[in-house]
Structure 1
Amino acid sequence: MSIATVGVIGAGVMGVGVAQDLAQHGVEVILLDVTDAVLERARSQIRQSIRFQGLFGKGGRAHKPDDVLGKIAFSTDTKLLERADFVIENVTEKWELKRGVYADIDPICPSHCVFAANTSAIPITRIASLTKRADRVVGMHFMNPVPMKSVVEVIRGHHTTEETLGIARGLLSQMGKEGIVVNDAPGFVSNRVLMLTINEAVFLLQDQVAGAEQVDRIFKSCFGHKMGPLETADLIGLDTILYSIEVLHESFGDSKYRPCPLLKKMVDAGLHGRKSGRGFYSYDVREN
């Protein structure tokens, strides 16, 4: 199946990264969000990210911002998805929000269109149940920053067909990425382990066992990790971490996934990590 146009729903950190990466690989993109202000910010973030890539020689060959942005239609109108061959949904990890999105887009998109949920923890089978195309729903868990990551966790829902998996892997191949296919379960592989690790690292701070720098340095120096768990949390977004660990706690009913009170407090305080300028570390928001 030839994919000419991809709808990207949600112009947050992940949606912006996915849209940019697709456009840089010549794919026509429809980037959707609820307000023009969010979309204008997304446009600026993509332009800045492309310039950053060129400045530091990252992301392969150099791209001109105007060429990449010319491949992206920024809109609040979901009716544009009438011409989408593939949709990647990147909405916040809240079930009520996701349910509304799929109820909206399922009647609009053509019957051949594949839906890919870029979710951190919500089971793909549950998402597919919101549609009349459960066989054409797949999980594609991109890692942040999307243009810099070469591997994507691909999740097979209960009804996902081999044809759908093949289409998803074909799109990833167009983007220069490899898809590793796993079976459906809350958190899949990456976040079932990662969210537990980050949550426990926050407990270490709360219990005053160590500071953020010490925790991260141990993981980087002793285990060779490029980033420590708390640096990773700031990159992902503490709000996303909290939503994901709450999904795992609800899904498994296991106390080991109980969200750390300090994590909840930081999210309530608006300390969401890089995107807000402060999390476990402080950042210049102009760099984000």
Structure 2
Amino acid sequence: MKKVGVVGFTGVMGAGIVQLCAQSGYEVVGYSRDPERTRKALAVIEKHLGRLVDKEKITAEDKAAALSRISATDEMNGLAACDLVIESAVEDMNLKKSVFTELDGVCRPDAILATNTSSLSIIDLAMATRRPNQVLGLHFFNPAPLMPLLEVVKTIATSDETLEAGKAFGESLGKTIIVARDAPGYIVNTLLIPYLLNAIRMLDRGQAGHEDIDTAIKAGLNYPMGPLQVADYIGLDSLLFIANIMYEESKEPQYAAPPLLKKMVTAGWLGRKSGKGFYEYR
């Protein structure tokens, strides 16, 4: 595997995946139909690599080499020569299905197609192609170049060969690999989402204040961040979306979104990205 394509590389996760792959020695092609967003994404990647140089994590030569491996295309057939294409578009099932159908038509028959979705059904995406055995999940965590974990997700149709190729790819990026089946939330979100929602329920019923809830977890369990701080970091709209997907598929009460979370999203209090969530940010 030498050449990797990334669909949706102008988003935060997509840009991070492009940077990570380029730093790991892969040729990377980012796909976007928006020239201005493409320009900004490439500038962000260059900026992040520059910070690594400033911190002496990499050399200026390493930065130049990584940037030389990155190219961009505004046509899907620009990904035709890729050995692996990772979809990192917004969490919209219909959009993702259309991307996979289009990729199936332009990519080589032996190419592997992967998705970075954190919550949607991967088998549904796989069945939008004629190669469901060559489709799997590669769930990176934000920021992709720094977070050590990669969830490799196997559907009921994913072949053992595709799974092994996905694991080997993740290892080549320096990631810690865990394998999960194609179920809502995989491993991390299945544990994380109820934890965050329970903290919001606790706040909503007045059992404790937001700072005390977070302090209890940080000082009592030695976690680096409290659950409400994590929720603000993820984005309350993203948290609500993931919770709704998981509840819709499982019908388990632990995934039901608390009324407070819904109200905050309605009010536009989305956490760090909006400047206000459970905390205020400048």
User: Partner letter of residue 70 of structure 1?
Assistant: S
What is the distance in 1 between the residues matched to 2:279 and 2:39?
Answer: 27
| 1:29 corresponds to 2:28 | yes
- Cα 1:283–1:42 change in 2 (3 A) is farther
Question: Are the structure 2 counterparts of residues 216 and 162 from structure 1 closer, same or farther at C-alpha, using a change threshold of 3 Å?
Answer: same
Distance of 1:257 and 1:196 partners within structure 2: 6
Report which stretch shifted further, 251-260 or 132-141. Answer: 251-260
> Residues 20 and 68 of structure 1 are in contact (CA less than 8 Å); yes or no, is this contact kept in structure 2?
yes
TM-score, normalised with respect to structure 1: 0.88
Is 1:241 the equivalent of 2:239? yes
Distance 1:67 1:182, change over 3 A: same
Do the aligned partners of 2:122 and 2:155 also contact (CA within 8 Å) in 1?
yes
Which TM-score applies when normalising by structure 2? 0.90
Shift of 1:277: 4.0
Amino acid at match of 2:86: I
**Cα 1:189–1:78 shift into 2, 3 Å:** same
Structure 2 segments unaligned to the other structure (5+ residues): none
- Determine the C-alpha separation between the residues in 2 that align with 1:192 and 1:164: 24
Instruction: Read off the aligned partner of 1:86 and give its amino acid letter.
Output: L
Structure 2 residue aligned with 1:183: 181
Shift of 1:180: 1.0
Of residues 36, 47, 58, the one that matches 1:61 is: 58
1:43 aligns with 2:42: yes
- Give ranges in structure 1 of 5+ residues lacking alignment: none
Out of 149, 167, 170, which is 1:169 matched to?
167
- Which runs of structure 2 are paired with 1:64-103 in the superposition (5 Å)? 65-103=63-101
The number of equivalent residue pairs is 280
Distance 2:21 2:244 in 1: 31
Which of 147, 168, 188 matches 1:149?
147
Tell me the distance in 1 between the aligned counterparts of 2:84 and 2:246. 28
What is the Cα deviation at residue 12 of structure 1? Answer: 1.4
Tell whether the 8 Å contact from 1:155 to 1:184 is kept in structure 2 after alignment: yes
Instruction: Work out whether residues 52 and 58 of structure 2, in 8 Å CA contact, stay in contact via their aligned partners in 1.
Output: no
Aligned mates of 2:11, 2:273 — CA distance in 1: 10
Aligned-partner SS, 1:146: coil
Q: Distance in 1 between matches of 2:76 and 2:228?
A: 36
SS of the residue 1:152 aligns to: strand
Q: Distance between the aligned counterparts of 2:236 and 2:28, measured in 1?
A: 28
- Cα RMSD after superposing both structures: 2.1
Q: Residue 281 of structure 1 corresponds to which residue in structure 2?
A: 279
Letter in 1 for 2:105: P
Q: Report the AA paired with residue 43 of structure 2.
A: S
Deviation at 1:56, TM superposition (A): 4.0
Residue 127 to residue 54, structure 1, CA distance change in 2 (3 Å): same
Distance 1:23 1:269, change over 3 A: farther
- Partner-residue secondary structure (3-state), 1:210: coil
- More deviation in 87-96 or 37-46? 37-46
Task: Verify the 8 A CA contact 1:93 1:244 in the aligned structure 2.
Answer: no
How far the C-alpha of 1:245 sits from its partner, in A, is 0.7
Task: Say which one has the larger Rg.
Answer: 2
Asked if the contact 2:244/2:255 (under 8 Å) is kept, the reply is yes
In structure 1, C-alpha distance between the alignment counterparts of 2:163 and 2:183, rounded to whole Å: 17
Q: 1:167 to 1:206 in 2, by over 3 A?
A: same
**Contact 2:53–2:63 (CA<8 Å) still a contact in 1?**
no
Question: Does structure 2 conserve the Cα–Cα contact (< 8 Å) formed by 1:36 and 1:75?
Answer: no
CA contact (8 A) 1:92 1:240 kept: no
